[in-house]
């Protein structure tokens, strides 16, 4: 019997495109950081339209507050004489007006501080209460009830003081006054008019603040509801998956495990009743294989039924079990030439399980599709290079290579490829010069990872 040709027993460095060919359908694993090449872009930030409106609102607040404060300061200059002290007082008022307008830039980030600054400026200098009123509308959305009451009371005091300051001035320094016609005396607003103006201004600021508070509360409630909805959906999905896992576990126990038990019983009976001296050894191998399959199936069924299990919880084969796997394949009639090089320390259970299953499936395929053909197996597992697997077998005589891919369901190859890619590796299976070849490359993970 001739062994397959080619350098398959001794896998070496992997050349791109030769060791890990990618399927033409684009089924390869795409890498790339989120938002970078090959990955999805990150979540979009606030829309440019909302940012533009926010900037326009800030500009409008700065201009409006600064302008009205300067108007109040200018009218106070009409009331005072032009002495040095009063001139300095007017200059301070203009500076306070500029500071009040500029402070509106921080009304969202530091509303309490902006309110205190504008309240202090309005109480000490002849500017209007608009800065304090606007700041109050940003304090209320996030303030505690006690702080909200205090901020409202302070703003009411500032509004009352500034309006009273205007009411006690003499004409023509009163802002809320009307020019007389035909030589009549200009009219001024009565005290209850000032009260109404103050109450309306304070009510507008409080209303704006509570509208913002309610809007923020509604947004938070919607976010919480969305999270709860997602959690409920995830829980329902987990319950559905668990029901499906339990159904699969029952079906496996009632069908596959039953048939394996029947096979084991028949093999045991054949082992003790046959008169052919060559049959007992084969029957014993069949019985042992059925027993091992039953043990692994029990672990798989337990994993399926355990909702807390993150993966397969059954016994995990190690790389030291590969010789036994090769010996079982030889006992089944497969002629194998193997080369196995492994480190003294095994990688993580996930890697060793993947290596074992890939070799097991490859030898099973060789036994099923090419009985009697020679097989070459090469496994190289080192921490520095990862795990390289090559399994090669002759195709059946007279069978075209194109018929190999169409034979069988292909589920075994798909499963091997999925195992490799789940660990960050890859696997290729196909025909190379009338030889069926399975090549796999797996990364090395220590026992504490993966």
* DSSP letters for 111-158: HHHHHHHHHHHHHHSS--SHHHHHHHHHHTTT--HHHHHHHHHHHHHH
Residue-by-residue DSSP string for 196-248: HHHHHHHHHHHHHHHHHHHHHHHHHHHHHHHHHHHHHHHHHHHHHHHHHHHHH
* Per-residue confidence (pLDDT) for residue 314, from 0 to 100: 54
Alpha-carbon gap, residue 252 to 302, rounded angstroms? 11
Overall CATH class of domain 319-442: alpha beta
Sign of CA dihedral 7, 12, 16, 20: positive
Q: In 3D, which of 67, 155, 76 has the Cα closest to residue 104?
A: 67
pLDDT of residue 77: 61
**pLDDT, position 78:** 60
Q: Which residues of 298-312 are buried (b: 16+ CB within 10 A; e: fewer)?
A: eebbebbeeeeeeeb
SS3 label, residue 36: coil
Closest to 140 in 3D by CA, of 115, 103, 122: 115
Element of type H or E holding 187: strand 187-188
Can you give the pLDDT at residue 10? Answer: 39
pLDDT of residue 31: 34
Write out the two tokens for 283: 């029957």
* pLDDT value of residue 401: 53
Confidence at residue 116, expressed as pLDDT on a 0 to 100 scale: 94
Distance CA 349, CA 327 (A): 22
DSSP code at position 423: T
- CA-CA-CA-CA dihedral for 417, 421, 423, 427, to nearest 10: 50
Close Cβ partners of 242 (under 8 Å, ≥ 6 residues apart): 307
pLDDT of the residue at 45 = 45
Whole-angstrom distance, CA of residue 176 vs CA of residue 164: 11
Any idea where the domains of the chain sit in the sequence?
Answer: 53-178+188-228, 240-305, 319-442
Give the dihedral sign, CA 318/323/327/332.
Answer: positive
d(CA 318, CA 423): 16
Cβ–Cβ under 8 Å, residues 300 and 314: yes
pTM for this prediction: 0.46
Q: Which run of H or E residues covers position 365?
A: helix 349-369
| Exposure on the CB side of residue 378, measured as CA atoms within 13 A | 18
* Cα gap 264→259, rounded to integer Å: 9
Which residue stretches of the chain have pLDDT < 50?
A: 1-45, 448-449
Q: What are phi and psi of 41, to 5 degrees?
A: -75, 155
Contacts 24+ apart (CB under 8 A), 54-62: 58/104, 58/105, 61/101, 61/104, 61/107, 61/134, 62/101, 62/102, 62/104, 62/105
The residue among 222, 43, 41, 202 whose CA lies nearest residue 129 is 202
Per-residue confidence (pLDDT) for residue 86, from 0 to 100: 65
């Amino acid at each position: 019997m001739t062994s397959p040709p080619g350098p398959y027993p001794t896998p070496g460095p992997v050349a791109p495109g030769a060791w890990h060919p990618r399927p033409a359908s684009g089924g390869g694993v795409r890498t790339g950081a989120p938002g970078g090449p090959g990955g999805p872009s990150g979540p979009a930030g606030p829309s440019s339209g909302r940012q533009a409106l926010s900037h326009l609102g800030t500009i409008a607040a700065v201009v409006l507050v600064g302008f009205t404060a300067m108007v109040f300061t200018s009218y106070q200059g009409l009331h005072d004489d032009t002495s040095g002290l009063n001139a300095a007082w007017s200059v301070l008022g203009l500076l306070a007006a500029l500071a009040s307008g500029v402070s509106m830039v921080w009304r969202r980030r530091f509303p309490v501080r902006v309110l205190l600054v504008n309240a202090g400026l309005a109480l000490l200098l002849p500017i209007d209460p608009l800065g304090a009123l606007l700041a109050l509308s940003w304090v209320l959305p996030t303030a505690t009830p006690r702080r909200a009451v205090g901020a409202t009371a302070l703003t009411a005091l500032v509004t009352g003081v500034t309006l009273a300051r205007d009411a006690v001035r003499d004409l023509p320094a009163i802002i809320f006054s009307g020019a007389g016609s035909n030589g009549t005396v200009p009219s001024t607003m009565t005290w209850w008019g000032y009260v109404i103006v103050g109450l309306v201004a304070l009510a507008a600021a409080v209303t704006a603040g509570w509208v913002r508070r309610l809007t923020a509360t509604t947004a938070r409630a919607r976010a919480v509801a969305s999270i709860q909805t997602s959690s409920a959906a995830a829980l329902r999905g987990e319950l559905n998956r668990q029901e499906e896992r339990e159904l699969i576990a029952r079906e496996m126990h009632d069908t596959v495990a039953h048939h394996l038990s029947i096979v084991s019983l028949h093999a045991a009976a054949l082992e003790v009743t046959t008169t052919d001296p060559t049959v007992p050894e084969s029957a014993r191998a069949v019985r042992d294989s059925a027993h091992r399959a039953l043990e692994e199936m029990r672990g798989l069924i337990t994993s399926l039924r355990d909702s807390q299990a993150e993966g397969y919880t059954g016994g995990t084969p190690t790389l030291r079990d590969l010789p036994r796997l090769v010996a079982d394949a030889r006992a089944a009639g497969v002629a194998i030439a193997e080369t196995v090089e492994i480190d003294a320390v095994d990688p993580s259970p996930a890697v060793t399980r993947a290596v074992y299953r890939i070799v097991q499936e490859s030898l099973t395929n060789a036994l099923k599709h090419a009985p009697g053909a020679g097989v070459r197996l090469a496994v190289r597992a080192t921490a520095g290079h990862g795990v390289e697997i090559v399994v090669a077998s002759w195709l059946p005589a007279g069978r075209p290579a194109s018929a190999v891919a169409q034979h069988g369901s292909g589920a075994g190859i798909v499963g091997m490829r999925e195992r490799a890619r789940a660990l960050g590796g890859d696997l290729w299976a196909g025909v190379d010069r009338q030889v069926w070849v399975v090549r796999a490359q797996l990364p090395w993970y220590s026992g504490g990872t993966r």
